[in-house]
Chain A
């Protein structure tokens, strides 16, 4: 515990070993060019995402009238608030080199629990507390299984996904409407912004979550340990960092964020249904990757995940605005974007290949 923790997180991660001799061919040329244009590749990846977002939005504004209004941009936040919160939790997990496949199912569990408990007449604040605690508890259990029992995160959270969906079905198969005063008030009212624009309370909350996450990751011992584990778990343990507590902690955070995402989703859609949020975990992972976080862990910024969600949202909005394009183009575009960003990470980042 005597390790100095005052350095910025980027430095704490062991620096990627520079190739002794530059790689030959076009790969090497691109590699050198990208190295020369950026100092920290995390920041660079986030910048690429930001540029992409601006380009996408700009293209939309030129192509479709009514797209360029500020409210359309703000609606990206309003419509994707739950996904932002989900992606924040996922960022923590992925930064340690893990993955959380249960988050979509925990969102559904959150909506079903909230709806059924409210229907049973529980007061709204208590319901919120119970839902959040359940999410954190599920995350804690998965974290214990992953760290304590040395099981792979992929498979543990997969079991967690089945469990959460199963509990959803056990509570209620059909969709339950939410008529609680607090929930509907939050859903209907908005925060007025200058220029006649507005944000929903959910969107504001999502932005607050992003800010808190950024603070935790960059200004606390816990956050720096997260980066250190992603860089190298054994090094982190040898440095005397609280590896176990942190690894369990990120899954608690992810579970909590998923439950919060579930609450935001239930406010957004005002119902609880066991089939809500199918495949949402993949959207969250895609957003995190597009936001520049490396899946092996150790590098990435939570702001990138926010931008990643907004990129996904912009693509959906563009396809909605077009009207002539079918919804499956969303999937294809997201797939192509994922590919572009992964290849970009591969070319710019450290050697993360497994098979070559």
Chain B
């Protein structure tokens, strides 16, 4: 990870709105930096270990190659991660996306299988329409629990995470539903202008979300809700509607991803479709530098985070290792990225780079961790962020306070 400054220009793009204070300094502060560095190291490793990794072919008007596969396979996770970024920015989390994905796929394929004419376009349209509507309803349910009833997001969505797979199995009657339909075949393996459909869909959603949240005030409002819901409400932000909307949106992305995943294999497996995809999506968001404590978020970071996870998987597979090792490698990379992103480690690194008045007074991470008794850190949150809700915000746990 010594080539950190190299990918710096790439990270600066998403913080363009901030006042200019030196591209390099800004990039160094950006939490996306380490994610980009990790991705660069991974790609570099591939360049050395298996040079064929970067080969791209243009065949029958379609693009082929390992890199295309990475981007194509990452599409469902990335799509959900985009929605998850917004949810996490409001200091929420959605554990139910895997279940929503399974329900969406099950609904769609059950409709296609049961239709009079399974291969017609109208059947596919109906199936897709009902599946997306189911996603919206489930999202509205989560949003209702979180924003109206006021249940903590992690437990509110745990309800649907637990019950959702049961519902999906209820829909498919416990079977794996298979069906053939040209529209779903196209969704699973089709191309638009030589690019896989799933990449196009994900790219479009990413573009729309990016424009909507970064070119309008919506992104700032979402961050305001994440920093302090009560203060945001007092400032005239409709915190409740925004919270509700992000949960509906993430469920919608999960429903679309459900259609993709089921179309990929032409089968809806209520038990296994999208298993652990919520964890991958959350990891992608967090690796991308968005804090689970809410507030500032980075869509660029989420894209990089999702690409890291998928590149890792593809790397392990192309090296001929059994896929059991994916988790181990994932864990190692994740732990390294997290360690580098940790506030204490970052502070220590900064101190080493420019010793002087700018350095924080926090003790070195290891020393404080080892000593353990009465560390000064829980008292610290008063200093860096003076105003927004130190201590009295309901539902904000103590360690989140520390993180701010």
B377 to chain A, nearest CB (A): 7
Q: Given that A332-B167, A355-B240 are contacting pairs, would A154 and B399 also be in contact in the complex, using a CB cutoff of 8 Å?
A: no
Q: Are A156 and B162 in contact (CB under 8 A)?
A: no
Q: Given that A155-B338, A354-B396 are contacting pairs, would A170 and B325 also be in contact in the complex, using a CB cutoff of 8 Å?
A: yes
Q: Given that A148-B344, A243-B378, A282-B158 are contacting pairs, would A353 and B395 also be in contact in the complex, using a CB cutoff of 8 Å?
A: yes
Q: Given that A233-B401, A336-B163 are contacting pairs, would A356 and B147 also be in contact in the complex, using a CB cutoff of 8 Å?
A: yes
Q: Given that A149-B345, A229-B398 are contacting pairs, would A326 and B162 also be in contact in the complex, using a CB cutoff of 8 Å?
A: no
Is B279 close to A, CB under 8 A? yes
Q: Are A98 and B399 in contact (CB under 8 A)?
A: yes
Interface string of B187-218 (1 = CB under 8 A from A): 00000000000000000000000000000000
Q: Which of B310-330 contact A (CB under 8 A)?
A: 322, 324-330
Cα-based distance from A274 to B154 in the complex (angstroms): 27
Residue of B163, B286, B381 near A234 (CB, 8 A) is B381
Cα-based distance from A149 to B346 in the complex (angstroms): 10
Q: Are A356 and B403 in contact (CB under 8 A)?
A: no
Q: Are A353 and B150 in contact (CB under 8 A)?
A: yes
**How many chain A residues touch B (Cβ–Cβ < 8 Å)?**
72
Q: Are A296 and B395 in contact (CB under 8 A)?
A: yes
Cα-based distance from A161 to B286 in the complex (angstroms): 16
Cα-based distance from A334 to B322 in the complex (angstroms): 35
Residue of A97, A146, A232, A240 near B374 (CB, 8 A) is A240
Is A159 close to B, CB under 8 A? yes
Is A211 close to B, CB under 8 A? no
Q: Given that A97-B398, A234-B398 are contacting pairs, would A328 and B339 also be in contact in the complex, using a CB cutoff of 8 Å?
A: no
Q: Given that A151-B342, A155-B338, A331-B162 are contacting pairs, would A346 and B149 also be in contact in the complex, using a CB cutoff of 8 Å?
A: yes
Residue of A154, A342, A351 near B292 (CB, 8 A) is A154
Residue of A240, A297, A335 near B164 (CB, 8 A) is A335
Cα-based distance from A148 to B344 in the complex (angstroms): 8
Q: Which of B86-135 contact A (CB under 8 A)?
A: 90-93
Residues of B within 8 A of A297 (CB): 397-398
Residues of A within 8 A of B90 (CB): 355
Cα-based distance from A351 to B379 in the complex (angstroms): 24
Q: Are B146 and A354 in contact (CB under 8 A)?
A: yes
Interface string of A170-209 (1 = CB under 8 A from B): 1001000000000000000000000000000000000000
Q: Given that A149-B365, A353-B151 are contacting pairs, would A159 and B163 also be in contact in the complex, using a CB cutoff of 8 Å?
A: no
Q: Are B372 and A244 in contact (CB under 8 A)?
A: yes
Residue of B324, B338, B343 near A170 (CB, 8 A) is B324
Return the chain A residue nearest B275 by Cβ. Answer: A278
Q: Which of A301-341 contact B (CB under 8 A)?
A: 326, 328-332, 334-336, 338-339
Q: Are B147 and A355 in contact (CB under 8 A)?
A: yes
Return the chain B residue nearest A167 by Cβ. Answer: B328
Is A67 close to B, CB under 8 A? no
Q: Are A234 and B369 in contact (CB under 8 A)?
A: no
Residues of A within 8 A of B165 (CB): 328, 331
Residue of A296, A334, A352, A355 near B163 (CB, 8 A) is A334
B388 to chain A, nearest CB (A): 14
What secondary structure prevails in chain A residues at the interface with B?
Answer: helix
A342 to chain B, nearest CB (A): 5
Is A33 close to B, CB under 8 A? no
Q: Are A148 and B369 in contact (CB under 8 A)?
A: yes
Q: Are B369 and A152 in contact (CB under 8 A)?
A: no
Residue of A148, A166, A296 near B331 (CB, 8 A) is A166
Q: Given that A232-B398, A342-B151 are contacting pairs, would A163 and B166 also be in contact in the complex, using a CB cutoff of 8 Å?
A: no
Residue of A151, A170, A351, A356 near B328 (CB, 8 A) is A170
Q: Given that A152-B400, A155-B292, A346-B151 are contacting pairs, would A169 and B366 also be in contact in the complex, using a CB cutoff of 8 Å?
A: no
Residues of A within 8 A of B148 (CB): 356
Is B71 close to A, CB under 8 A? no
Cα-based distance from A343 to B148 in the complex (angstroms): 11
Q: Given that A148-B366, A296-B152 are contacting pairs, would A159 and B93 also be in contact in the complex, using a CB cutoff of 8 Å?
A: no
Q: Given that A97-B398, A162-B330, A335-B164 are contacting pairs, would A354 and B369 also be in contact in the complex, using a CB cutoff of 8 Å?
A: no
Q: Are A150 and B155 in contact (CB under 8 A)?
A: no
Q: Are A158 and B282 in contact (CB under 8 A)?
A: yes
Residues of A within 8 A of B394 (CB): 350-354
B375 to chain A, nearest CB (A): 5
Is B335 close to A, CB under 8 A? yes
Return the chain A residue nearest B174 by Cβ. Answer: A326
Residues of A within 8 A of B152 (CB): 295-296, 352-354
B119 to chain A, nearest CB (A): 30
Q: Are A242 and B160 in contact (CB under 8 A)?
A: no
Residues of A within 8 A of B240 (CB): 355-356
Is B373 close to A, CB under 8 A? yes
Q: Given that A170-B325, A339-B159 are contacting pairs, would A154 and B93 also be in contact in the complex, using a CB cutoff of 8 Å?
A: yes
B378 to chain A, nearest CB (A): 4
Is A106 close to B, CB under 8 A? no
Q: Which of B274-320 contact A (CB under 8 A)?
A: 279, 282-283, 286, 291-293
Q: Given that A166-B330, A356-B229 are contacting pairs, would A331 and B146 also be in contact in the complex, using a CB cutoff of 8 Å?
A: no
Residues of A within 8 A of B374 (CB): 237, 240-244
Cα-based distance from A339 to B373 in the complex (angstroms): 38
Is A285 close to B, CB under 8 A? yes
Is A153 close to B, CB under 8 A? yes
Return the chain B residue nearest A240 by Cβ. Answer: B374
Is A248 close to B, CB under 8 A? yes
Q: Are B155 and A289 in contact (CB under 8 A)?
A: yes
Return the chain A residue nearest B230 by Cβ. Answer: A356
Residues of A within 8 A of B324 (CB): 166, 169-170, 173, 274
Is A144 close to B, CB under 8 A? yes
Is A15 close to B, CB under 8 A? no
Q: Beyond the given A152-B292, A162-B330, A338-B159, could you list 4 further A-B residue pairs with CB under 8 A, ordered by the A residue number?
A: A148-B370, A166-B327, A233-B397, A353-B150
A-B pairs with beta carbons under 8 Å apart, 25 shown: A148-B368, A148-B369, A149-B345, A150-B377, A150-B399, A151-B338, A151-B342, A154-B154, A154-B282, A154-B292, A155-B283, A159-B331, A159-B338, A162-B334, A163-B335, A166-B328, A233-B398, A234-B401, A236-B378, A242-B372, A338-B155, A343-B151, A351-B395, A354-B396, A356-B150
Cβ-closest 6 pairs across A and B: A335-B163, A148-B369, A233-B398, A353-B150, A166-B328, A331-B166
